[in-house]
Amino acid sequence: MISNIWEQFLTIAREEAGSRVVETWFKAVVLQHWDAIEKVVYLKAPNAFVQKWIYANYMQLLHTHLGRLLNMNNIRIIFADDAQEPQAETPVEPRYKAAEVAVVDDKIATSAHVNSTALVKPSLQHGGHINRTYSFDTFVIGPSNSLSYAASHAVTERPGSLYNPLFIYGGSGLGKTHLLHAIGNEIKTKNKNAVILYQTADRFVTEFINAIRFNKIHKFQKKYQSVDVLLIDDIQFIANKEQTQEAFFHIFNALYEAHKQIVFSSDVIPSSLGGMAERLRSRLAGGLVTDIHVPRLETKIAILKKKAELSGTMLDDDVANFIASRVTSNIRELEGALIRVMAFASLTNKTITLELTQRVLSHTTPQAVPIDFNRIIEGLRKHYDYNLQDMRSKNRNKELAFVRQVAMYLMKKMTDKSLRDIGHFLGGRNHATVMHALYKIESCLERDPDFLHKIKRIESDIKEVSR
């Protein structure tokens, strides 16, 4: 039964966080047992490196889904270590991203094997979920992000009066979250009494739903309207949630009229936000809108050297150049590759050389341009006369609905994104809608050879576009 529970969790984790997260971090973890009376779940990680990484980044995923699978609320999760007594974990806030670093007791924590600031737990005592390790000093500036950096730094000089709201958009893992935290940290440094709140949009939605359930709407509104700086990450996640958008619209107006600083991040420009009320979309675009692109090779090399230096490691130019050339998707993947190399070198007591790096990253295929959702839509347009706006619309035209399902199928097959990511990109569709699309397209492929051949041609075109 224990193995079945864990397998169910791994299935959910693949959908929520992506298969790469499961294969890298959760596959080696064992669910040992649980205490239904004390509501404690005992896990065992293969080493301190994996344990600390999961602890810093994926505890909310464990809390949410293991609790549901075991039919227990408010569970505690303990990692048992043969070498020491099990240490109880401290409750953490939801949805920390894999590239985030953190702080324990105001000190940089290191694992028994890897000296890396990327393994430290976020501190909420700093206020408003702000991660104090994200600062402007640790942000590497390049042509792809210089405008967003300059605008972010500028709002800390005159919060609420210059560039309000500030809207930063760009692909996943390019540094938007880093800039939001950096803004919060800089303003807090200049004004210790400032009330700053960093919030992910999906956490905002959950909080709003709970406020309705427990009749605490007034308390919810008061909390948000009392802040001096509101930082909302991934605002696209409130798409197609009309009540939430209504509540957020009033909060936005109250803060804006009080000259409080508001900063948003999103994966797309405001005008392309599907499932968003027009008046709210207009508010989001009412200030300064800046973007972040995939960095050039020189910037990626600088980022790698900076991250390695923060971890106490000096990275040779040839090693940094190889990693930067090998990983082209985003900064988060770039940092992930660096961490894999550093972890391997530390665990095997070897020096980081070009040969070792090549061996560790041998399965990472270099691409001139990464295959992402936009590339897939671009490839589809060669075969179907529909654009991204059509895909995100609520139009239920039979042909358009089918093409949208094809897009969902290809996005799941050709990227490592979760079903939720796919649904949100295509106009805020839910998990069940994407799952239904996958089943339908797979069924069509099994019974229709011509359709199978067409899908293969589309995949080939998408790969060609990304070269």
Give the bridge partners for 265, in sequence order: 168
pLDDT at 128 (0 to 100)? 65
Mean pLDDT of 181-201: 93
Residues 6+ apart with CB under 8 A from 332: 97, 98, 99, 172, 173
Q: Identify whether residues 154 and 180 lie together within a single domain.
A: yes
pLDDT at 16 (0 to 100)? 73
Here the CATH number for the domain that contains residue 232 is 3.40.50.300
Which comes out higher in pLDDT, residue 293 or 82? 293
Domain annotation covers residue 164: yes
Cβ–Cβ contacts within 10 Å for residue 334, how many? 25
Give the bridge partners for 382, in sequence order: none
DSSP state of 442: H
Here the CATH number for the domain that contains residue 429 is 1.10.1750.10
- The residue behind tokens 């979920």 is 129
Mean pLDDT of 25-35: 84
Q: Identify whether residues 245 and 150 lie together within a single domain.
A: yes
Here the CATH number for the domain that contains residue 65 is 3.30.300.180
- The terminus-to-terminus CA distance of the chain in angstroms comes to 46
Question: Tens digits of per-residue pLDDT, 59-68?
Answer: 888 888 888 8
Highest mean pLDDT range out of 90-104, 177-191, 381-395, 419-433?
177-191
pLDDT at 60 (0 to 100)? 84
Q: Judge whether residue 96 has pLDDT over 50.
A: no
Assess contact for 411 and 422: CB atoms under 8 A: yes
Q: Identify whether residues 97 and 165 lie together within a single domain.
A: no
- Residues 348 and 337: their CA atoms lie apart, in Å, by 17
- Residues 150 and 168: their CA atoms lie apart, in Å, by 12
Q: Identify whether residues 383 and 331 lie together within a single domain.
A: no
Domain annotation covers residue 108: no
Residues 6+ apart with CB under 8 A from 320: 301, 304, 305, 308
Please count the structural domains in the chain.
Answer: 4
Question: Tens digits of per-residue pLDDT, 287-344?
Answer: 999 988 878 888 888 888 888 888 888 888 888 888 888 876 678 788 888 888 888 8
Q: Judge whether residue 35 has pLDDT over 50.
A: yes
Task: Report residue 370's pLDDT band, with 50, 70 and 90 as the boundaries.
Answer: low
Q: Judge whether residue 98 has pLDDT over 50.
A: no
Decide which of 335, 360, 385 is a domain's last residue: 360
**42 by DSSP, 3-state: which?**
strand
Q: Identify whether residues 262 and 320 lie together within a single domain.
A: no
pLDDT at 446 (0 to 100)? 84
Give the bridge partners for 264, in sequence order: 167, 232
pLDDT at 364 (0 to 100)? 57
Q: Identify whether residues 176 and 313 lie together within a single domain.
A: no
Give the bridge partners for 263, in sequence order: 166, 231
Assess contact for 40 and 34: CB atoms under 8 A: yes
Structural domain containing residue 80: 2-103
Task: Report residue 124's pLDDT band, with 50, 70 and 90 as the boundaries.
Answer: very low
Decide which of 103, 129, 163 is a domain's last residue: 103
Q: Identify whether residues 284 and 405 lie together within a single domain.
A: no
Task: Report residue 366's pLDDT band, with 50, 70 and 90 as the boundaries.
Answer: low
In total, the chain counts a number of residues equal to: 467
Which comes out higher in pLDDT, residue 409 or 104? 409
Mean pLDDT of 275-281: 89
Domain annotation covers residue 138: no
Assess contact for 268 and 169: CB atoms under 8 A: yes
Question: Tens digits of per-residue pLDDT, 225-274?
Answer: 999 999 999 999 888 888 889 999 999 999 999 999 999 999 888 887 87
pLDDT at 84 (0 to 100)? 39
pLDDT at 463 (0 to 100)? 77
pLDDT at 339 (0 to 100)? 87
Task: Report residue 202's pLDDT band, with 50, 70 and 90 as the boundaries.
Answer: confident
Q: Identify whether residues 207 and 344 lie together within a single domain.
A: no
Which comes out higher in pLDDT, residue 230 or 414? 230
Give the range among 81-90, 117-126, 198-207 with minimum mean pLDDT. Answer: 117-126
pLDDT at 12 (0 to 100)? 84
Domain annotation covers residue 177: yes
Assess contact for 200 and 213: CB atoms under 8 A: no
Domain annotation covers residue 312: yes
Domain annotation covers residue 390: yes
Q: Judge whether residue 105 has pLDDT over 70.
A: no
CA distances (Å), 445 to each of 17, 27, 292, 333, 439, in order?
26, 30, 37, 32, 10
Give the range among 186-200, 229-243, 369-383, 437-451 with minimum mean pLDDT. Answer: 369-383
Which comes out higher in pLDDT, residue 139 or 106? 139
Q: Identify whether residues 317 and 380 lie together within a single domain.
A: no
Assess contact for 436 and 404: CB atoms under 8 A: no
Decide which of 49, 73, 103 is a domain's last residue: 103
Which residue type sits at 69?
A: L
Mean pLDDT of 377-386: 87
Burial 270-289 (b: 16+ CB within 10 A, else e): beebbbbbeebbebbbebbb
Q: Identify whether residues 246 and 181 lie together within a single domain.
A: yes
DSSP state of 107: B
pLDDT at 14 (0 to 100)? 80
Which comes out higher in pLDDT, residue 458 or 57? 458
Q: Identify whether residues 379 and 356 lie together within a single domain.
A: no
Q: Torsion over CA of 340, 341, 346 and 349, rounded to 10 degrees? A: 140
- The residue behind tokens 């209504």 is 246
Question: Tens digits of per-residue pLDDT, 147-168?
Answer: 899 999 999 999 998 889 999 9
What is the full DSSP assignment across 122-134? PPSTTSTT--TT-
What are the tokens at 131? 């991660």
Nearest Cα to Cα of residue 103 among 80, 134, 62: 134
* Average of per-residue pLDDT values in the chain: 81
Cβ–Cβ contacts within 10 Å for residue 75, how many? 19
Q: What is the arrangement of strands in the sheet containing 84-88, beginning at the earlier edge strand?
A: 30-35, 40-44, 76-81, 84-88
Domain annotation covers residue 130: no
Q: Identify whether residues 330 and 249 lie together within a single domain.
A: no
Cβ–Cβ contacts within 10 Å for residue 238, how many? 26
Establish whether the linkage from the previous residue to 46 is cis, with ω within 30° of 0: no
Percent share of the chain, pLDDT over 90: 22
What is the full DSSP assignment across 225-263? HT-SEEEEE-GGGGTT-HHHHHHHHHHHHHHHHTT-EEE
Domain annotation covers residue 15: yes
What are the tokens at 139? 């942000």
